[in-house]
Amino acid sequence: MEKAAGLDADQVFFDLEDACAPAEKKPSRAHAVEALRTLDFGDTVRCVRVNDVTTSWCYGDIVEVVSGAGDRLDCLVIPKVEDASHVHFVDHLLGGLERDLGLERRIGLELQIESARGAVNLRTISQAVDRTETIVFGPGDYAVSLGIAQFEIGMVDARYPGHQWHWVMSEIANHAHAAGVEAIDGPYVDFNDEAGYRESAQRARLLGYRGKWCIHPNQIPWANEIFTPTLAEYEYARKVCDVYREATEGGRGAIAVDGLLVDEATRKLAESTIARAERAGLELPA
């Protein structure tokens, strides 16, 4: 946890779920609270992953963590979300705690889709409450849900003729964007496999995902590079915006830039690229 405070990650979460043995789940709540209260994370988004709502630990995780460090907590990560009732439970519990504790900021939710049931209920899950900020794909438990024996969680299985998780990842991306929240890809367990991680992250980006989990500091620069527009992409987007603005001010609509059609949809894409690059702190030439 101390190491996490100094990493170049957009977000850090402390895990009370799969990373904790059953006997350690309750004691670990205090460790998460202490870390949130004593470590300086700067602008990094601070989260805690609690146990899923069907367990005996979930409500205690939320009560103890929010009571102890709710003013230092940005989001709760909710694993194994299977229908809207799971989200409503957490939302109501959080609402009561926030009012009781006098918290000035609402705590956001990051919802993990990790089962067949969760995938088919994405429409109601994604629209359940307005405190949801991201929807996260969990490839490990999703494979378990489908009875697929895959120990290399998140990795690309060459035996499958195509992208093994294309359908569910596309569903998550579409429902996330329709609800106005971020789609985030889950972990890749071989933290020494740079090429594999980059391929997995690039596939997610091309499906509309805005980030990917890292389970080791090795992976952070790879994720940051994949999900940050390149300087060339940024400069081309600026060029598109400038040329298109001049054209529309002159009474023209669709035009060509470097031999490619540019219209209103292209302008929106260019502005989105510029915004993502600037939010990511892309280094621009002087």
Q: Which of 188, 203, 227 is the last residue of a domain?
A: 227
Q: Of 12-26, 209-223, 244-258, where does mean pLDDT reach its minimum?
A: 244-258
User: Does 237 lie in the same domain as 220?
Assistant: no
Q: Which comes out higher in pLDDT, residue 270 or 126?
A: 126
CA–CA dist 286, 122 (Å, integer): 45
In this structure, is residue 156 part of a structural domain?
yes
From residue 268, alpha-carbon distances to 48, 129, 244, 248, 263 in Å are: 34, 28, 11, 14, 9
CA–CA dist 140, 150 (Å, integer): 8
Among candidate residues 249, 217, 203, the one with its CA nearest the CA of residue 8: 217
Number of separate domains in the chain: 2
pLDDT tens digits for 219-255?
999 999 999 887 888 888 888 888 878 777 777 777 7
In this structure, is residue 32 part of a structural domain?
yes
From residue 252, alpha-carbon distances to 213, 262, 284 in Å are: 44, 11, 31
User: Does 246 lie in the same domain as 202?
Assistant: no
pLDDT tens digits for 111-123?
999 999 999 999 9
pLDDT band, very low/low/confident/very high, at 151 (cuts 50, 70, 90): low
Percent of the chain with pLDDT over 90: 72
User: Does 271 lie in the same domain as 252?
Assistant: yes
What average pLDDT score do residues 91-120 get?
A: 97
pLDDT band, very low/low/confident/very high, at 286 (cuts 50, 70, 90): low
CA–CA dist 203, 1 (Å, integer): 30
User: Does 181 lie in the same domain as 158?
Assistant: yes
In this structure, is residue 175 part of a structural domain?
yes
In this structure, is residue 20 part of a structural domain?
yes
In this structure, is residue 48 part of a structural domain?
yes
pLDDT band, very low/low/confident/very high, at 285 (cuts 50, 70, 90): low
User: Does 242 lie in the same domain as 144?
Assistant: no
Percent of the chain with pLDDT over 70: 99
Burial category of 201 from C-beta neighbours within 10 Å (exposed 0-12, middle 13-18, buried 19 and up) = buried
User: Does 141 lie in the same domain as 32?
Assistant: yes
What average pLDDT score do residues 154-168 get?
A: 84
User: Does 112 lie in the same domain as 235?
Assistant: no
Give the CATH number for residue 172.
Answer: 3.20.20.60
Among candidate residues 226, 193, 229, the one with its CA nearest the CA of residue 211: 226
Q: Which of 187, 208, 227 is the last residue of a domain?
A: 227
User: Does 220 lie in the same domain as 237?
Assistant: no
In this structure, is residue 37 part of a structural domain?
yes
CA–CA dist 181, 110 (Å, integer): 10
pLDDT tens digits for 190-213?
999 999 999 999 999 999 999 999
With 90 as the cut, is the pLDDT of residue 86 above it? yes
User: Does 275 lie in the same domain as 222?
Assistant: no
Domain that holds residue 200: 3-227
With 80 as the cut, is the pLDDT of residue 4 above it? yes
Q: Please, which residues have CB within 8 angstroms of residue 259's CB and are 6 or more apart in sequence?
A: none
User: Does 90 lie in the same domain as 14?
Assistant: yes
User: Does 269 lie in the same domain as 170?
Assistant: no
With 70 as the cut, is the pLDDT of residue 13 above it? yes
User: Does 150 lie in the same domain as 239?
Assistant: no
Q: How many CA atoms lie within 13 A of 201 on its CB side?
A: 24
Q: Which of 209, 227, 245 is the last residue of a domain?
A: 227
Q: What are 6's strand-pairing partners?
A: none
Do β-strands 75-78 and 45-49 pair in parallel, antiparallel, or remain unpaired?
parallel
For CA atoms 18, 23, 24, 27, the dihedral sign is: positive
Q: Which comes out higher in pLDDT, residue 78 or 148?
A: 78
In this structure, is residue 169 part of a structural domain?
yes
